[in-house]
Amino acid sequence: MQKRAENKMGVMPVRKLLLSMSIPMMISMLVQALYNIVDSIFVAQLNENALTAVSLAFPVQTVMIGVGVGTGVGVNSFLSKSLGEKNYGMANMAAANGILLSWISCAVFTIAGFLGSYAFFRAQTDIAEIVEYGADYMSVVCALSFGMFNQVMLERLLISTGKTLYSMISQTLGAIVNIILDPIMIFGLLGCPRMEVFGAALATVIGQFVGASAALCFNIRANRDISVRPKDLRLNPGIVKRIYSVGLPSIMMGSLGSVMIYGFNRILLSFTSTAAAVFGVYFKLNSFIFMPVFGLNNGMVPIIAYNFGARNKERIMRTIKLAVTYASVIMLAGTAAFEIFPDKLLRMFNASDEMLRLGVPALRTIGLHLPFAGFCIAFLSIFQALGNGMESLMVAGSRQLLFLLPMAWLLSLTGSVNAVWWSFPAAEAATLALGSFFVRRVYISRIKAIPDGSDTP
């Protein structure tokens, strides 16, 4: 039998490896964030209620993405570790089970979208136009979520084996299709009927189907480290358990984030619907800053997992130090943008005078939390790569529900919406302290015990 070549995650110099794996992911996620922003910019041209409706739908999208990405993270960690151990059969089984789990997730959200869209929005507001816009948007993204779930899983398989360039291409293709179709479907251009918010949702899911199709082709043609045959597509309880031992905490983190967004919107709606629109704009802008860091950490996870399986302590530590440094630089740039250009950022979303009055101090205050967040995101990725999913859940869950939401509620009692925004930097500082404690404990128990090896490039 021909001997397999060593995967680049075990031999390439760490700085070059991290950049080669992360930069394509950072670019693809920047494009992903860009089309989320463009989506809202076009919707905002309809009216502020349309923008608010899309913002209120964000918790549902957060849960969907959390389930898709969380399952992918579990597959990512297990598959990369199996490759590091040279257990190629187990890697193939992890991939097959991940694909099946993504299909099951899709079925659940399709049913939820059909049955619960109107009830979800009526629970948040009695403004009929927001309810109609929101239900239109949510029903489409849920009912046609097959593209999203498959795109996420198939791209995770590429990332798990170091094929991040192909993942970048598939994400970029989907995003470009979405950006092109948005104005056509929203406003009824080039002979297309005017569909408004419904059109924005339809453009999104079409882009996801295009991205999923590209990722499928890349896995078949270029991903030689794994091979999934139709007969392998059957659930293995032991592998599912291994996947969700890491993935379930990540899914719960996404779900907790959705609870936080829903709760935060309820707090803001007690002041004015414009405050909720500002919060929605913040999340769109925030994604443009966070997505490169997520891309960086997506590149970091398989490197750490592979070298943990290969028992290479030096490469693990070098990867962590470089990733944290790069993340901090990105987040500081984000803080500078929020502090210097808040009015210009808001005007991209057709901001009214009232939205500017509320939004400028909001962005400047929230922006202060970004440098702390860079460290916290890196900590969560370290836990995921090493299979310590519970620590990820505890840190992220504490941020969302123990720190951020209660602080926002307490500050809302002052009667000033401007006070509510200070919950972000306060909660992030508390999360950094908790995350540092768990990182030190995981280092002592999982990494420090690995024997020192030769110097790592």
pLDDT at 436: 92
Q: Quick one: how far is CA 386 from the chain centroid?
A: 19
**Per-residue pLDDT of the chain in tens (457 residues, 90 and over written 9):** 445 555 676 777 788 888 887 887 787 777 767 766 777 888 888 888 888 888 888 788 878 888 888 888 888 778 877 887 888 888 888 888 999 999 999 999 999 888 888 999 998 888 899 999 999 999 999 999 999 999 989 988 888 787 878 888 898 898 889 989 999 999 999 999 999 999 999 999 999 999 999 999 998 888 888 887 777 788 888 889 888 887 777 777 667 777 888 899 899 998 988 998 899 889 888 878 888 888 888 788 888 888 888 788 888 888 888 888 888 899 999 999 999 999 999 998 888 899 999 999 999 999 999 989 888 888 888 887 887 777 877 888 888 888 999 999 999 999 999 999 999 999 999 999 999 999 898 888 888 878 765 444 4
Express each pLDDT in 263-288 by its tens digit: 998 999 989 889 988 998 898 888 78
Residue 370 is predicted with a pLDDT of 92
CA angle 47, 120, 289 (to 5 degrees): 60
pLDDT value at residue 215: 92
Please report which residue ranges of 310-369 form alpha helices under DSSP H.
Answer: 313-340, 342-347, 353-366
pLDDT of residue 443: 87
Q: Contact, 83 vs 225, CB < 8 A?
A: yes
Q: At what angle do helices 164-187 and 196-222 cross, to 10 degrees?
A: 160
Considering only CA atoms, give the Rg of the chain: 22
Residue for token pair 């460290």: 375
Cβ–Cβ under 8 Å, residues 48 and 190: no
Contacts of 115 (CB under 8 A, 6+ apart): none
Check the CA dihedral 266-267-270-274 and report its sign.
negative
Cα atoms found within 13 Å of the Cα of residue 140, Cβ hemisphere only: 20
Q: How far apart are the first and last CA of the chain?
A: 31
Structure tokens at 380: 């969560």
Position 454 scores a pLDDT of 44
Q: What is the pLDDT of residue 211?
A: 92
pLDDT value, residue 5: 56
